[in-house]
Amino acid sequence: MKIYTMENSLIVNAPISEVWEFFSNPNNLAVLTPPKFKLQFVQEPPSSMLTGQRISYSLSPFPGFRTRWEGEIKEVAKLKRFIDEQQKGPFAYWRHEHLFFHNEEGTEVRDHLQYALPFGAIGTAFHPFVKGKMTEMFTYRNDKVKKIFS
């Protein structure tokens, strides 16, 4: 299984406590996902995250295809980081670490994402498409966060 990695970094002009509060509220996943992906929670998540918490939703990464996703919060270190892992969903493996650092300009938010695609060589052939979709999601999220905290 080939593990791919993506990194993202964003400087937010706000104190780490405000940025953490926003990112650690699972409901804001819907705010940070492009509308065309039509994210819908299976059940409304609580307003703060805890280690071991599961979050279920569905989304449509491209027209005509809807997939269900169940993620689990594996670790929470308040004001520092949290890690979510896919338990059920479209990826063979998914681990997303969200890191928060005090910065002279406010807060730096870093993402370290590791993922693997299913279906062996067929999945590998689709990686450029999948990577493009994830880049699109990070770009949307970065723009949205900048607007929210401007």
Q: Which residues span the domain enclosing 61?
A: 4-148
Rounded to the nearest angstrom, the gap between the alpha carbon of residue 77 and the centroid of all alpha carbons in its chain is 17
Residue range 12-68, pLDDT digits in tens: 999 999 999 999 999 999 999 999 999 999 988 988 899 999 999 999 988 889 999
Per-residue pLDDT reduced to its tens digit, 9-23: 999 999 999 999 999
- How many domains does the chain fold into? 1
Q: pLDDT value at position 63?
A: 86
Q: What is the CATH number of the domain that holds 59?
A: 3.30.530.20
Q: What percent of the chain has pLDDT over 70?
A: 100
Rg of the chain taking only CA atoms, in angstroms: 15
77 Cβ neighbours under 8 A, 6+ residues apart:
none
Q: Quickly count: other Cβ atoms within 10 Å of residue 12's Cβ.
A: 23
Average pLDDT, the chain: 96
Distance, in Å, from the CA atom of 94 to the CA atom of 96, rounded to the nearest integer, reads: 7
